[in-house]
Amino acid sequence: MSLACKAGCLHSKSPGSAQLPTRRSFFLAKGFRLKERAAPREARQTYLAAARRSSAHRTYCQSGGGTSVSAREQGVEQADAPPSESAAPPVLPQNGAVSAAVRDSWVGHLLDTWADINASPDTPELLQELHEECGAALQSARMPNTRVESFRFTDVSSIIKSQPQVPEAAEGAARGMLSSHMLREDHELRAVIVDGCLDQGLSNLSGLPDGVYIGSIRDAPEEVVAMRLGAQATTKGTPFTQVNGALAQDVVCIVLPPGAEVTQPLHLLHIASGREQSVSLNSPRLLIILGRDAHLQILEEFCPLDSNQRECYLTNATAEFELAEASSLQHGYVNLESIAAWHVKSTLVNQAARSHYALTEANLGGRISRHDVVISQMGPETETTMRNLQVCGERQVHDLHSSLRLDHPSGRAQQLHKCIVASSTGRGVFDGNVQVNQKAQQTDAAQLSRNLLLAAKGAVFARPNLQIIADDVSCTHGCTVSDLEEDQLFYFTTRGIGAEQARKILVYSFGKEITQGFRYPKLEARLEVAVNDLLSNAGAL
Amino acid sequence: MQLPARLQQVRVARTAQKRRLICQAGGKVMLEVSDLQAKVADTDKAILKGVNLTICEGESHAIMGQNGSGKSTLSRVLVGDPQYEVTGGSARFQGQDLFDLEPEERARLGLFLSFQSPIAIPGVSNIDFLRLAYNSRQKALGKPEVEPLQFYGHVMPKLDTLHIDPSWLDRSVNEGFSGGERKRNEVLQLAVLEADLAILDEIDSGLDIDALRDVATAVNGLKRGNTATLMVTHYKRLLNYIHPTHVHVMRAGQIILSGGIEVADVLENEGYEGITNLLKKEPALQTT
């Protein structure tokens, strides 16, 4: 059940809202910060139970009374949005039980298709709650279209017209991939997630320090996870984040107690299986909770099970990170999905005082990839670093929306975004928002977007933007768009290096400024191959 | 009135034909430029207006001239800079028509230009760049390409000569380098590539005294019987380290006077006015 939906119900005195417990009403009256403060679990469960009982509640949402708040929260402008029924092919509900109440036909199809698997008695209680919460939020949501500002340049209609099915990866099918998907030559700490579910058999999570938990939600420390799971997604996510919450079949939970440090990098290998005739959808979900002064390095890698890259699937991932005081998280993220796939990801981060979050990402795979990074600095002297690379080949759209909010003094933020558009049909989108609010004095923020257009008619939409309210800050931002420099190419040729080879080296070196941040030789080699494939397929060399 | 007397002793070549005869007495002709004319491709502004120059194996030539006289343009046209368009004349290098070859083919044939302001290439390390360049030349010469480890063995002695710290090799090409460091890096590339004809465009600018000596020592150390050097410079100090066999003066896109080190002496003492006065008095000395 989303806050938005609840708020809508509350204010409108509907029959459904009359059943809300009074304690809940008190919190809701305080608005959307409720989730940030993490409502006591009992209250939440009581409320959810009440909502489950209330058939009137669902009917009310369907009638549209509770939509406006939720739509605004999720960046969907109702006024502009055309009826989704016209954008998506009509989907007749199979059993009518769930989808009958849902505004968006694509969401209706998903909720129906996943109804059986979600109702399985094996589903842990925490996950059931997440399903219900997000399922309820989705009742009134609409999936975005190009009239929604944040999706203006990324047309997701092909995703919303698809009719995804539950993935069916054969057990152990991913075993053969492991040796070719290592980070380093030697033993590594690894979690293998196949179609969104942690595969214990393929993972290697031994030798962790005392008190550290890395594993499925099924065995996770319940009291810690219950407070945080879904807490950020309700206020910061997109409709895709809610879809993830409603369909996720597992959550990889990582909990580090105060002072803990995992020295080895953790490799989170996400493997997605496609289906022969239809589209499959996997919903990987990750929750990381770092205690005070805890330190962790992770690398999320997304790749297809089928190396032929022909199968079509949608990966819709969500990650929520909670960083306590003075903790640090080095987050590597590599999208090497199949060229026929769609890849949507939300990364939501809360950073307490003096914590450090560093993101290094490379987006290469998928015909459409969309990454929403939403970071809040929630204490002074907090540091955030983002280094993003997008390589857009033939008919590829890579979209990065990053949003960083600074509300406390002496925060630091660094962002370097680089985009290579190698084909005339490729497109890169970057919207980088940094908000320096009144109390964020002595902020030091820098943002730079550099874009390389290698093909005529290739396009990049870059919008680095800073909103500064504090008056004692040092903030810079910039954006460049260019082809390769003729002078550099000429320099290579005067040393006997052919023009074609020179172009290749220069393009790769442009991206290398980001990829060298991964510091894993085997991964870098994989990326180099992937970049070269993309560029040569696009004819950019 | 000593100067004209001294200058009369200068070996003067009045035509390319005559220069060739002199060359044949010495080494084989390496570069032969006849009546070369070139313009800036974008603006159609003519820069070179009939340059004649012949360089033989074993020789060191220096070209001096005022700013804008076409010295740097000549060196860039020879290596094939697309900013310039050749409008007339010819240039042969190692018996091949230079203008039939792409810039990389000219380089593989043994032509090297040390740039006046070398450009930085972020993200490409010096060692990778050097090895790529070296291997393209090896390939052109029909020799086997070298492996990274083997290549270190080839580069290390060159670093010692130039007093360059080995940590340079892992840095990006010219990124964050000072002007002087960039020039040193150019000479390092020359040393590694072992080019036949090295064109050094103002290699002395931006160098301190010690660096100039290092660079000059390295260039002198690279001289062999079958190589040649063409220096473009404003000052005689470089010529005190690298002794030229020929000194040319360029004005308005042409070489107007050729001689020995004495020509540089005239320039050092009297400036370009001295050359003008001299040519007025001795019009026969003018080469074109």
Can you spell out the DSSP letters for A441-500? Answer: TT-EEEEEEEEEE-STT-EEEEEEEEEE--SS-EEEEEEEEE---HHHHHHHHTTT--HH
Contact B119 A491 (CB under 8 A): yes
With both helix axes pointing from N to C terminus, report the angle between A3-11 and A55-62 in degrees, rounded to the nearest 10: 90
A 477-516: CB under 8 A from B:
485-488, 490-499, 501, 505-506, 508-510, 512-513
Q: What is the pLDDT of residue B26?
A: 61
Closest CA to B51 of B252, B262, B260, B211: B252
Residue of B105, B125, B132, B201 to mutate when probing chain A, most A C-beta within 10 A: B132
Q: Are strands B29-40 and B84-93 parallel, antiparallel or unpaired?
A: antiparallel
CB pairs under 8 A between A and B: 67
Measured CA to CA, the distance from residue A156 to residue A43 in angstroms comes to 37
The radius of gyration computed from the CA coordinates of chain A, to the nearest angstrom, equals 23
Please answer whether residues A35 and A105 qualify as being in contact, where contact means their C-beta atoms are separated by less than 8 angstroms: no
Q: Which residues contact B117 (CB under 8 A, 6 or more apart)?
A: B179, B182
Question: What pLDDT sits at residue A98?
Answer: 53
All residues of chain B having their beta carbon less than 8 Å from the beta carbon of residue A509 are 121-124, 172
The domain that contains B97 carries what CATH number?
3.40.50.300
Residue bearing the bigger pLDDT, A73 or A502: A502
Residue A83, pLDDT score: 38
Two structure tokens written together for B117: 């302001």
What does the alpha-carbon distance between residue B193 and residue A142 come to, in Å, rounded to a whole number? 63
Binary contact (B80, A493; C-beta < 8 A)? yes
Give tens-digit pLDDT for B81-104: 999 999 999 999 999 999 999 999
B75 contact A CB<8A: no
Q: What is the pLDDT of residues A105-135, one digit of tens each?
A: 999 999 999 999 999 999 999 999 999 999 9
Reported as a single tens digit per residue, the pLDDT across B24-59 is: 446 789 999 999 999 999 999 999 999 999 999 999
> If you average pLDDT over residues A298-312, what whole number do you get?
86
- Residue A483's φ and ψ, nearest 5 degrees, are -90, 180
Asked if the C-beta of B42 comes within 8 angstroms of chain A's C-beta atoms, the answer is no
Contact A493 B102 (CB under 8 A): yes
Which pLDDT score, from 0 to 100, does residue B17 have? 42
Q: What is the pLDDT of residue B284?
A: 78
Choice between A21 and A177, residue whose per-residue pLDDT is larger: A177
A513: pLDDT confidence band, cut at 50, 70 and 90? confident
Residue A406 contacts residue A443 (beta carbons within 8 Å) = yes
| Each residue's pLDDT tens digit, A65-105 | 332 333 333 333 333 333 333 333 333 334 444 555 678 99
Q: Which residues of A touch B103 (CB under 8 A)?
A: 490, 493-494
Given a cut of 80, whether residue B18 has pLDDT beyond it is no
Assign A336 a pLDDT band (cuts: 50, 70, 90): very high
**C-alpha triplet A299, A301, A305: angle, nearest 5°:** 150
Give me the pLDDT at residue A330, please: 97
Nearest-Cα residue of chain A relative to residue B190? A495
- Within 8 A of A497 by CB-CB distance, chain B residues are 104, 132-133, 136
Which of B108, B126, B131, B136 has the highest number of chain A CBs within 10 A, making it the mutation to test binding with A?
B136
> What single DSSP character describes residue B95?
T
Range of the domain at B244: 2-285
Q: Do A496 and B140 touch (CB under 8 A)?
A: yes
The set of residues, in sequence order, having a beta carbon less than 8 Å from that of B152 and lying 6+ positions away, is: B127
A402-446 tens-digit pLDDT: 999 999 999 999 999 999 999 999 999 999 999 999 999 999 999
Contact at CB, A506 and B137, closer than 8 angstroms: no
User: A496 and B193 in contact by Cβ < 8 A?
Assistant: yes
pLDDT tens string A457-487 = 999 999 999 999 999 999 999 999 988 888 9
Q: Looking at the DSSP assignment, which residues form a beta bridge with residue A282?
A: A315
Q: Exposed, middle or buried by CB within 10 Å (0-12, 13-18, 19+), for B170?
A: exposed
CA distance B262 to chain A (A): 33
Which of A491, A494, A496 is the closest to B121 by Cβ? A491
Q: Which residues contact A247 (CB under 8 A, 6 or more apart)?
A: A110, A114, A118, A131, A281, A283, A316
Task: Give dist(CA A201, CA A271) in Å, integer.
Answer: 14
Whether residue A509 and residue B124 make contact (CB cut-off 8 A), yes or no, is yes
Task: Give every CB contact of residue A263 below 8 A, 6+ residues apart in sequence.
Answer: none
Domain ranges of chain A: 3-144
**Cα–Cα distance measured from residue A474 to residue B196, given in angstroms and rounded to the nearest whole number:** 53
